[in-house]
Chain A
């Protein structure tokens, strides 16, 4: 405990930065440093955390998934059509869309592996495909009106300090815990890291590359679909142009969370902190009132740069 293991440095920096930003806000503004603001960060960004967790798996394996935002939008549209126009019960709809989303990711993974294509371009095509499908189904925003959604919105409990823990917060924390277990304590998790570290060595070690790649993209799409469901809990609607650019937010969160973009190194917990840092920046700007919203983008860009530079320093520092 006296000396920090160097592999935890990016994670430690991320955590410190979060508490520093939160601390600055708490000192400057009354009401900022409360458990209420903290839990609002979680519930406001729950869908982003879920999507970013999926992205972490992909990036750990050395890939990238650009289809996340489009899958969120497609999920919302499909849910709203099935619930509002076909009168399906949400509890029937959710498994259907989750299976569909997972299959979508698995197909992308299979194309990436078998046809040896770059994940970047395949998931880009996937993004066009999902957005296109969503706009073909409906170009207008479709409201979701169902008793179940009202119950979901009402469900939750109050923590001391006026902090509300709702359905989305609970789902996102469960996803996070499950992801930490899968990534760090199962054989599959080990394979993801091995593939990201060096796919050739991993294959020589006997790791089934095809199965692992397909599973990774299936998980990412599954979580993106789940994020889409959670997103529909906020908006009570489905819209084909919703969640534009979420994939970039998710990638940014993963990088700020200390995961190496070349793959093979990173922690699920870091991703949570990455999303929370972006959330704190946004909250700070809205608390301040005089700063305009575009500063969020610039600050996140700067943070991205700082963390990538830090990663480069750490990688170069290691003897190769």
Chain B
């Protein structure tokens, strides 16, 4: 029992340790980091802020984790965010007051976009990078078309709640992440779907001979990624009470991929953990807070992020692990000599 669990535990160890280390650094350089205040029926504090800001990337990462598990990648999630935000904004500015229609429009836009990606990857066997590149390029154009090239602002209390509201003291985006996480986790771990996804990613031809419908599975993961992106897009739009087709979700697809990779998933597909993907998203957000708190100018943000990716990737590479252990043996030998 213990032995079979061991590799699984190791998988969780590194990302969680990384997050704890970052939190510890934050606590040391800024003792007020963990200070949480309860005011007007809602928690306030740096930690809550990190959770709130990490919400869009965490949502994207949940969808991206599934896509990457099938051996694919979705570059279009940032554009889908823009489309979903534009779709919701379109209905609000048309005078629709029914929140279900407004949110439904955003989710539907995300679902359609995801289905297009899924069709291209699953049924036309186009390389995922390229298939989703199409929507990444065209998606922002479509969102601008919906907005007629403007930054559409709106005022709708119900919709704004998505981005700025609170529930049980937590910011609503955080609640949305928890809900999405629970739903996706139940879908993938309490049904065979998760196993199918891993099988398709780990060995496409073996899973084909097993009788798995790889096309439908790929279609479904891209649809989920589209829905998650739509949710993130609506949060972003509700947060600023406007839809900005150019900047909504810009480069967030890269953060989402990064979150999944930091969570220890292999880009080749196979095993996945949504929990670790969310941890990855939290690590990214905490890292940028750490950079700010430690007094390093924010312009170093990207450089530090790049170094972090390279280190995480190197740690995952078997050759590097071997080189590292050889280095340790060397040191031990030297110590023995001395």
**Docked pose: A139 CA to B297 CA in angstroms:** 11
Take A252-B137, A301-B135 as given contacts and tell me if A115 and B317 are in contact as well, using a CB distance cutoff of 8 Å.
yes
Q: Once the chains bind, are A120 and B317 in contact (CB under 8 Å)?
A: no
Within 8 A of A (CB), among B112-145: 120, 124-127, 129-131, 133-142, 144-145
**Docked pose: A300 CA to B133 CA in angstroms:** 11
Q: Choose among B124, B144, B306, B318 the residue that contacts A132 (Cβ–Cβ < 8 A).
A: B306
Residues of B within 8 A of A252 (CB): 133, 137
Q: Choose among B125, B313, B314 the residue that contacts A312 (Cβ–Cβ < 8 A).
A: B125
30 A-B residue pairs with Cβ-Cβ distance under 8 Å, sorted by A, are: A64-B129, A114-B319, A115-B317, A118-B267, A118-B268, A120-B267, A121-B267, A124-B254, A124-B257, A125-B310, A126-B306, A128-B303, A128-B305, A129-B302, A129-B310, A132-B302, A135-B299, A135-B303, A136-B299, A136-B300, A139-B299, A248-B136, A261-B127, A261-B130, A294-B141, A294-B245, A297-B137, A297-B141, A298-B141, A308-B120
Q: Once the chains bind, are A125 and B303 in contact (CB under 8 Å)?
A: no
Q: Interface residue count for A (Cβ, 8 Å)?
A: 42
Q: Interface residue count for B (Cβ, 8 Å)?
A: 45
Within 8 A of B (CB), among A112-164: 114-118, 120-122, 124-126, 128-129, 131-133, 135-136, 139
> Closest residue of chain A to B303, judged by CB?
A132
Residues of A within 8 A of B299 (CB): 135-136, 139
Take A124-B254, A136-B300, A251-B133 as given contacts and tell me if A116 and B138 are in contact as well, using a CB distance cutoff of 8 Å.
no
Judge if B149 is at the interface, Cβ distance under 8 Å.
Answer: yes
Residues of B within 8 A of A251 (CB): 130, 133
Residues of A within 8 A of B131 (CB): 308
By secondary structure, the A interface counts as: helix
Judge if B301 is at the interface, Cβ distance under 8 Å.
Answer: yes
A-B pairs with beta carbons under 8 A, tally: 118
Q: Choose among A121, A294, A302, A304 the residue that contacts B313 (Cβ–Cβ < 8 A).
A: A121
Q: Once the chains bind, are B309 and A124 in contact (CB under 8 Å)?
A: yes
Q: Once the chains bind, are A248 and B129 in contact (CB under 8 Å)?
A: no
Chain A interface residues (CB < 8 Å from chain B): 64, 111, 114-118, 120-122, 124-126, 128-129, 131-133, 135-136, 139, 248, 251-252, 255, 261-262, 292-298, 300-302, 304-305, 308-309, 312
Q: Once the chains bind, are B133 and A294 in contact (CB under 8 Å)?
A: no
**Docked pose: A297 CA to B131 CA in angstroms:** 15
Residues of A within 8 A of B300 (CB): 132, 136
Q: Choose among A120, A136, A248, A294 the residue that contacts B303 (Cβ–Cβ < 8 A).
A: A136
Residues of B within 8 A of A309 (CB): 124
**Docked pose: A178 CA to B135 CA in angstroms:** 34
Take A121-B313, A308-B130 as given contacts and tell me if A128 and B302 are in contact as well, using a CB distance cutoff of 8 Å.
yes
> Closest residue of chain A to B148, judged by CB?
A292
Take A117-B317, A136-B299, A308-B126 as given contacts and tell me if A125 and B306 are in contact as well, using a CB distance cutoff of 8 Å.
yes
- From residue B260, how far is it (CB to closest CB) to chain A in Å? 10
